[in-house]
């Protein structure tokens, strides 16, 4: 792990996050986009996993404008309440600006070679989709993104490639929203969508209350194949 500081585009300050480097010391970059629980142990674990696969993985602290350094879990009611308060206070547009600033910093980082991707979970799943729409990221992966159906008019702006993992029993993304997403994106040649029957939101969260080993392993394998195709070629 090494530190990395990003300067905000709007001049309001700077923020950090968790950086994991591969054993080789260099590789394609991946921005790991947090859930509503901040840059916690689960996000760091994902960064370490991707670093083990040869990527320079960085998880920026996107809650820094509200309260920097947030680390919550999904294990207590108090943490859930705090997480939802942060979610309600979070500005999506500013969040994407911060991701764009992160992308610019990674492109000039000495350890990053070739292309850069992004992967996000929950709130981060929405942000991963919007990162594909609003930035020059090469490949983006969305795990059970919440609220994507409200931004489908931006899909024509996708310049790279997008992979989406949808939990069919997602308590935060109902069947109507899932149907709308499919109708809007299934014919887009830059988008691939996989559905996971019988699993709930956050089925791939390490040590999460809805973790489903079989579905998580399948989604993660598809994610690695996707990144290998678009970032390592």
Summarize pLDDT for 104-123 with one digit per residue, the tens: 999 999 999 989 999 999 99
Catalytic-role residue among 61, 200, 201, 230: 201
pLDDT of 114: 83
Catalytic-role residue among 74, 138, 170, 212: 170
Query: Is-catalytic flag, 201?
Result: yes
Averaged pLDDT, 201-230:
96
Residue 103 has pLDDT above 90, yes or no: yes
Residue ranges of domains in the chain, CATH in brackets: 6-231 (3.40.50.1820)
Distance, in Å, from the CA atom of 155 to the CA atom of 165, rounded to the nearest integer, reads 16
Asked whether 186 and 193 are in contact (CB, 8 A), the reply is: yes
Query: Is-catalytic flag, 170?
Result: yes
Task: Please give the model's pTM, rounded to 2 decimal places.
Answer: 0.97
Distance, in Å, from the CA atom of 120 to the CA atom of 103, rounded to the nearest integer, reads 14
**What percent of the chain stands above pLDDT 90?**
97
Question: What pLDDT digit, counting tens, does each position of 180-194 carry?
Answer: 999 999 999 999 999
Residues 6+ apart with CB under 8 A from 126: 92, 120, 142, 145, 146, 147, 148, 151
Cα Rg, the chain, nearest whole Å: 16
CA distances from 94 to 64, 130, 148, 198 (A): 11, 12, 17, 34
Residue found by looking up tokens 């901040």 in the block:
38
Residue 227 has pLDDT above 60, yes or no: yes
């Amino acid at each position: 792990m090494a530190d990395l500081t990003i300067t905000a585009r709007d001049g309001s300050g700077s923020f950090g996050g968790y950086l994991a480097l591969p054993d080789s010391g260099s590789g394609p970059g991946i921005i790991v986009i947090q859930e509503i629980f901040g840059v916690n142990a689960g996000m760091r674990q994902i960064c370490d996993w991707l670093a083990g696969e040869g990527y320079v993985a960085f998880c920026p602290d996107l809650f820094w404008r509200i309260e920097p350094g947030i680390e919550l879990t999904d294990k207590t009611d108090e943490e859930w309440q705090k997480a939802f308060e942060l979610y309600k206070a979070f500005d999506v547009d500013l969040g994407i600006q911060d991701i764009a600033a992160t992308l610019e910093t990674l492109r000039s980082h000495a350890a990053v070679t070739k292309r850069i991707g992004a992967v996000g979970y929950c709130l981060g799943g929405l942000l991963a989709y919007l990162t594909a729409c609003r930035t020059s990221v090469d490949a983006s992966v969305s795990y059970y993104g919440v609220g994507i159906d409200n931004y489908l008019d931006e899909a024509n702006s996708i310049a790279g490639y997008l992979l989406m993992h949808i939990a069919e029993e997602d308590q935060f993304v109902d069947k109507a929203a899932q149907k709308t997403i499919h109708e809007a994106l299934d014919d887009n040649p830059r988008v691939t969508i996989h559905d996971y029957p019988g699993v709930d939101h956050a089925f791939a969260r390490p040590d999460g209350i809805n973790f489903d080993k079989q579905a998580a392993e399948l989604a993660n394998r598809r994610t690695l194949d996707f990144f290998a195709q678009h970032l390592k070629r």
